Structure 1
Amino acid sequence: FQNQQENPHNKHITPSNRQDTADEARRLQTACNGDFVFTTALYEQIQTEVAEMGNNLNANNGDRGRFYGGILRLAAHDFMDFDRNAAAGEEGGSDGCLIFTEEDNIGLEATWVGEGVSPMPAIQVLYESIYEPMGMSRADYWVAIANAVVKVASPNQVLDLPFRYGRNTSEDCSFAIGRQPKANGCSDVEEVFINRMGVTWRDATALMGGHTLGAGSASGHVGIWDNTRAGSAQFNNDFYDEMLNRSWRPVLDEDGNAHDWTWSTPNNNNFPFLMLHTDICLYFDIPEDGSADCCTDISGNCRGGTQNNQCPTAEDIRPESFQAVEDFRGNNNNNNRNTDG
């Protein structure tokens, strides 16, 4: 489905047109021997509903970004447990199944909850009250709402991703426990994206750009990847700009271990800007646990012991991800480079 002329922000769902869309889908379902038909009208209706929910949230305090980021993370974690080398029937992927109690899925309950858990988030209520009774699989719905986020959060809503339906929902994916990526460094990126999923380093770098939406708090981290909370609700290339336009250095936790990276004042774990080890390593050569005593740009606002220690680039050891960051950046240098905090 592709329709770049429609702007979901300019449409409104009423009970009447929702019923018309449902009736059309049911007529087609009857004509197709009872099989569910994911019509273009249904897909566009979901886009509009996601846009309406987002518009009802405050962008400036980060609520809209967290809403969009939560949906994208839900769909991403669903497909990131794919293992092309697994036994038949245990490959995982976009099957509408996650172990919500698994440590790496912490925070997803703000977007979706397991069976019997309440309260139920609005995006889940929408599915269970409207789309599940039609026969739409949860697996298809998660991809559709993630595609909707990408469109409504992109500049001028131009990113209209292609969509194919027909995914089956799995109720048991216990075989995929432990497959979610950690945040220790590029060995995690390589294991999950390159070895298991079979994508390239360039693909992996593009997928990591999804961090531009939302915040890290849901997954146990502190801060946002964008340079404003309003910006965390916009799906653009700010993630790559921020990586290269700031002076990032490790943030130490209470035990003295490197937790994340920041460009704010030293030891201020509440300052809302971050990069993960798995982000920084795409362009810079850092240890797996991020414990490098260095700064990504010593010409900027590096502080403490890192101010004279430039992190080396990953151009030689990970040339594909290094070049991808260069290609994906927008050369946006108008964001008060390294002068804040």
Structure 2
Amino acid sequence: MNSIIPTALLTLLALVNFGQACIDKSIYYEIDNEIEKIASSINAEEQLVHFYGGIVRLAAHDFMDYDQNSDTSFGSDGCIDWNHEVNKGLETIWCTSCPLTKLYRKKYSFISKADFWIASANAVIRQLSKNQSFDLANTFLWGRKDATTCKGSGNRIPLATGTCQDVEDTMLDAMGLEWRDAVALLGAHTIGKGHEAVRSPFERHDGYWMPTVADSLRFDKQYYEELILRTWRARNSGTDLEDFTASTEETHEHPQIMLKSDVCLLYNSDSNYPCCSKTHRFRNGRNQCDVEQVLSKKKCRRYSNRDTRMQAVNAVLEYLGGSSPNDNQGPFYRAFNTAWYKATTNGHDNLKPLRRMC
């Protein structure tokens, strides 16, 4: 009996390693399977969109507070500033009674929350990708340490009313990414939805980025197609809820939205909001931009060729995968893989790749 105890203790120490237990491929794909099991128990599509989209948002908000210029860099550290309005809604994804939290505490608390959140987000992306073909396992690294506090980190994440300047401040200047990386990461909105506010006006951007709820359960390049093909008109101008909505919103069960930080990837809307993307379009004799006859002549401006944000425009066009319509997901998937890798590893040294076996 005495000879067994030292062995057990050594095994435990090797596993725990201060919250950085080894993650091999079997554990990684086991997490994937568990996420899929939870998803299969959710019958309502709207709730499923919230579950899937919330997991990706949780991982993203954990890494979007990284600032390479600060002594307190933050980044993926399993810590969210729960009291900040930018993170409202995430408490329904990570809480004592939330399925994702219960799964972690029951089976995976030997690894860091930061690693678990990223592995879970990777699972969502794979499951919703075209033919479930987009697997991020080869670029997944583990070994992050969880922080006990990250007060103020929410101030580094753009609010839902943010502009391209906020995206530039966060993703380029602070996180060290390029415009093509930022555009790729924002493509994850394809599985997102706006949330009706419970406690915060910043979450009342009601609607879906995609035309239907079913479209919001696919991780693909449709975000860029919608951005280019739809007529986007300013909504809630002069309020805390400024955004854009599609001119076809009245034909859908839910309004279709784009945030100002989405539309500005293609148009210089930062400088002339409120505006409309396609003032020349009509339906049944009515200008699609018209809301009280205000926007039909105020077109969102294009960027000049010398503007650095043309890099964002070119990325949007590249991720379309060619002339529309097409089903070429390759450019978007490759760019997202690169951007996700950069974002999730920012500020970390000595992270390790998945092992075949621990």
Q: Shorter-normalised TM-score: what interval?
A: 0.7 to 0.9
Compared CA separation, residues 131 and 251, structure 1 to 2 (3 A): same
Compared CA separation, residues 284 and 58, structure 1 to 2 (3 A): farther
Superposition map of 1:282-321 within 5 A:
282-287=265-270, 291-296=273-278, 298-299=280-281, 302-304=288-290, 305-314=294-303, 316=305, 317=307, 318-321=309-312
- Provide the identity percentage: 34
2: CA distance, partners of 1:28 / 1:157: 39
- Residue 160 of structure 1 corresponds to 135
2: CA distance, partners of 1:67 / 1:146: 11
Superposition map of 1:139-178 within 5 A:
139-161=114-136, 162-178=139-155
2: CA distance, partners of 1:122 / 1:33: 24
- Residue 7 of structure 1 corresponds to none
Superposition map of 1:1-341 within 5 A:
29=11, 32=14, 35=17, 36-58=21-43, 61-87=45-71, 90-113=72-95, 118=96, 120-132=97-109, 135-161=110-136, 162-182=139-159, 183-217=161-195, 219-252=203-236, 259-264=242-247, 271-287=254-270, 291-296=273-278, 298-299=280-281, 302-304=288-290, 305-314=294-303, 316=305, 317=307, 318-330=309-321, 331-333=323-325
1:310 partner letter: K
2: CA distance, partners of 1:92 / 1:140: 14
* CA RMSD, Structure 1 to Structure 2 (Å): 2.7
2:56 partner letter: L
Query: C-alpha deviations, 1:63-118, integer Å up to 9, x for none?
Result: 2211110000000000000000111xx110000000112010011111113xxxx5
Compared CA separation, residues 75 and 29, structure 1 to 2 (3 A): farther
2: CA distance, partners of 1:259 / 1:136: 40
* TM-score between both structures, scaled by the size of structure 1: 0.79
2:220 partner letter: N
Query: C-alpha deviations, 1:159-193, integer Å up to 9, x for none?
Result: 11121110000011115241111233111001000
SS in 2 for 1:250: strand
SS in 2 for 1:261: strand
1: CA distance, partners of 2:29 / 2:9: 18
1:223 partner letter: G
Compared CA separation, residues 333 and 312, structure 1 to 2 (3 A): farther
Q: Which has the higher contact order (CA 8 A, sep 6+)?
A: 2
1:148 partner letter: A
* TM-score between both structures, scaled by the size of structure 2: 0.76
2: CA distance, partners of 1:136 / 1:256: 43
2: CA distance, partners of 1:303 / 1:257: 21
1: CA distance, partners of 2:191 / 2:37: 17
1: CA distance, partners of 2:156 / 2:67: 8
Query: C-alpha deviations, 1:104-154, integer Å up to 9, x for none?
Result: 0011111113xxxx5x2101100011111xx21111101110111111111
SS in 2 for 1:209: helix
1: CA distance, partners of 2:127 / 2:64: 23
Q: CA deviation at 1:213?
A: 0.7
